Amino acid sequence: MALIVQKFGGTSVGSIERIEAVADRIAKHHASGDQLIVVVSAMSGETNRLIGLASEISDEPCPRELDMLVSTGEQVSMALLAMSLQKRGVDAISLKGSQVAIKTDSFHSKARIKDIDSTRLHAELSAGKVVIVAGFQGVDDQGETTTLGRGGSDTSAVALAAAVNAAECQIYTDVDGVYTTDPRVVDGAKRLDSITFEEMLEMASMGSKVLHLRSVEFAGKYGIPVRVLSSFKDGPGTLISVDEDNLMEAPTIAGIAFNRDEAKLTMVGVPDTPGIAYQILGPIGEANIEVDVILQNVGDEGKTDFTFTVSRNDLSRAEAILETHISELGAMEWRSDSKIAKVSVVGVGMRSHAGVAATMFRALSEVGVNMQMISTSEIKISVIIEEKFLELAVRALHSAFGLDADEAGDTDA
Residues in touch with ligand ASP (CB under 6 A): 10, 41-42, 47, 73, 135-136, 150-153
Which of 163/356 has CB closer to ligand ASP? 163
Residues 4-33 that bind Mg ion (CB under 5 A): 9
Q: Least distance from C-beta 47 to Mg ion, angstroms?
A: 10
Q: Least distance from C-beta 326 to ligand ASP, angstroms?
A: 40
H-assigned helices in 194-275: 197-205, 213-222
Which of 151/269 has CB closer to ligand ASP? 151
Q: Least distance from C-beta 113 to Mg ion, angstroms?
A: 17
Residues 132-151 that bind Mg ion (CB under 5 A): 151
Which of 151/225 has CB closer to ligand ASP? 151
Q: Least distance from C-beta 154 to Mg ion, angstroms?
A: 6
Q: Least distance from C-beta 151 to Mg ion, angstroms?
A: 4
Which of 41/382 has CB closer to ligand ASP? 41
Which of 9/269 has CB closer to Mg ion? 9
Question: Which of ligand ASP, Mg ion, none does residue 14 bind to, with CB < 5 to 8 Å depending on kind?
Answer: none
Query: How far apart (Å, rounded) are the C-alpha atoms in residues 121 and 170?
Result: 17
Residue 152 interacts with Mg ion (CB under 5 A)? Answer: no
Query: How far apart (Å, rounded) are the C-alpha atoms in residues 249 and 347?
Result: 13
Query: How far apart (Å, rounded) are the C-alpha atoms in residues 389 and 406?
Result: 25
Q: Least distance from C-beta 29 to ligand ASP, angstroms?
A: 21
- For 120-132, give one letter per residue: b (16+ CB within 10 A) or e: ebeebbeeebbbb
For residue 213, how many C-alpha atoms fall within 13 Å in the half-sphere facing its CB?
A: 9
Question: Which of Mg ion, ligand ASP, none does residue 150 bind to, with CB < 5 to 8 Å depending on kind?
Answer: ligand ASP
Please tell me whether residue 69 adopts helix, strand or coil conformation.
helix
Which of 9/97 has CB closer to Mg ion? 9
Query: How far apart (Å, rounded) are the C-alpha atoms in residues 244 and 251?
Result: 12
Number of Cβ atoms within 10 Å of the Cβ of 66: 19
Question: Which of ligand ASP, Mg ion, none does residue 152 bind to, with CB < 5 to 8 Å depending on kind?
Answer: ligand ASP
SS3 readout for 136-197:
CEEECCCCCEEECCCCCHHHHHHHHHHHHCCCEEEEEECCCCCECCCCCCCCCCCECCEEEH
Question: Which of Mg ion, ligand ASP, none does residue 269 bind to, with CB < 5 to 8 Å depending on kind?
Answer: none
Query: How far apart (Å, rounded) are the C-alpha atoms in residues 379 and 388?
Result: 26
* Contacting positions for Mg ion (CB under 5 A): 9, 151
